[in-house]
Amino acid sequence: MRYLLLFFTLIILSSCDKALVESTNSANSPNGTGGSLARFTLAGNYLYVVENTSLKTYDVSNASNPILKNTVQVGGSIETIYPYKNTLFIGSQSGMFIYTIDNPAAPKYLGAATHMRSCDPVVANDTAAFVTLRSGSACGSPADGVYFYSITDLLHPALVLTLNLGTPYGLGLHDSTLFVCRGINGLSVINVHNIHAPVTMQTITGSDFRDVIPFNGLLICYVTDGIVLYDISNVANIKFIKKVLNS
């Protein structure tokens, strides 16, 4: 009886494992991962490209031969695109635009948060979107900070709070940890499990941080003098691994 129970437990565990991999689709996805400053992004069999004012959709089911399927006008001065599940988050100088790709060949506008003016990027998860704004750039944002939006209603993103954080550039999200590049002021590691009460855990200094990609327990950082790798498998104990210098 005990063995039978163990056997069943093992079966259940292994089936859970499989389901998890399939639903997150990260391990077996043929698509790579970009940073938060990207203008090209892949979701499923489609390549999405943001130009100055438009969003172009290319069918890449045959990966060697993209075919233009759709062009939609989004708005002025687009800078970045970030995919999350069936949603595209577009960062522009006039705000954040949200498009659904339920029909992946024809992205459809859902909502926007346009009350700020900046040109910095967006990352998101199921319930929240994070946007950095940097003053003193050509984009004319009023003050430095990270904007936290509730996106439980994608049609109406709601500003929850603004975290005062100097000189933010690109950013990355790993589970409930937000990494914010802050130029020469370092890399801030923020617990955003409760978006109403973010907790800054630490700020790593020593490089001029511009953008990050969290990837399989690794944080890949683009810094002005190279690429820095950190082990983030335990975010309470982030470990430096390597710096690949530019020259």
Partner 1 sequence: MKRCYYFSLLFIVALLYACKPEKTKGLVGRVFGYKPVYSTSADLFIIENKPAKAVVHAGKIYVKDNFIFQNEVGEGVHIIDNSNPANAARVGFIKIKGSQEIAIKGNFLYSNNYNDLVTVDITDIAKVKEASRIHNAFYSTNSLQVPPAGGGYFECADNKKGVVTGWIKDSIDNPTCSN
Instruction: Count CB atoms within 10 A of the CB of residue 182.
Output: 25
Comparing CA positions, the residue from 202, 212, 197 lying closest to residue 236 is 202
Is 244 a binder of partner 1 (CB under 8 A)? yes
Is 229 a binder of partner 1 (CB under 8 A)? yes
Comparing CA positions, the residue from 80, 70, 68, 1 lying closest to residue 36 is 80
- Which CB sits closer to partner 1, 30 or 194? 30
CA dihedral 150, 41, 121, 111 (to 10 degrees): -40
CB 85, min distance to partner 1, A: 18
- Which CB sits closer to partner 1, 65 or 237? 65
CB 52, min distance to partner 1, A: 3
Is 234 a binder of partner 1 (CB under 8 A)? no
Asked whether 219 and 174 are in contact (CB, 8 A), the reply is yes
Binding part of the chain for partner 1, among 55-63, 98-106, 143-151, 152-160 by CB under 8 A, reads: 55-63
Is 42 a binder of partner 1 (CB under 8 A)? yes
Query: Which residues, other chains included, contact 234 with Cβ-Cβ below 8 Å and sequence gap of 6+?
Result: none
Asked whether 91 and 79 are in contact (CB, 8 A), the reply is yes
Judged by CB under 8 A, the chain residues 94 through 153 that form the site for partner 1 are: 138
CB 37, min distance to partner 1, A: 5
Is 72 a binder of partner 1 (CB under 8 A)? no
Angle at 45 between CA 39 and CA 49, to 5 degrees: 15
Is 52 a binder of partner 1 (CB under 8 A)? yes
Binding part of the chain for partner 1, among 56-64, 84-92, 101-109, 175-183 by CB under 8 A, reads: 56-64
Interface residue with partner 1, options 9, 15, 53, 114 (CB under 8 A): 53
Please report, as a single letter, which amino acid is at residue 62.
N
- Which CB sits closer to partner 1, 127 or 216? 216
Asked whether 89 and 31 are in contact (CB, 8 A), the reply is no
* 65-94 exposure pattern, b = at least 16 Cβ within 10 A, e = fewer: ebeeebeeebbeebbbbbbbeebbbbbbbb
Q: Summarize as ranges the residues that interact with partner 1 (CB under 8 A).
A: 30-35, 37-42, 47, 49, 51-53, 56, 58, 60, 63-66, 68, 138, 210-211, 213, 215, 218, 220, 222, 224, 226-227, 229, 231, 241-242, 244, 246-247
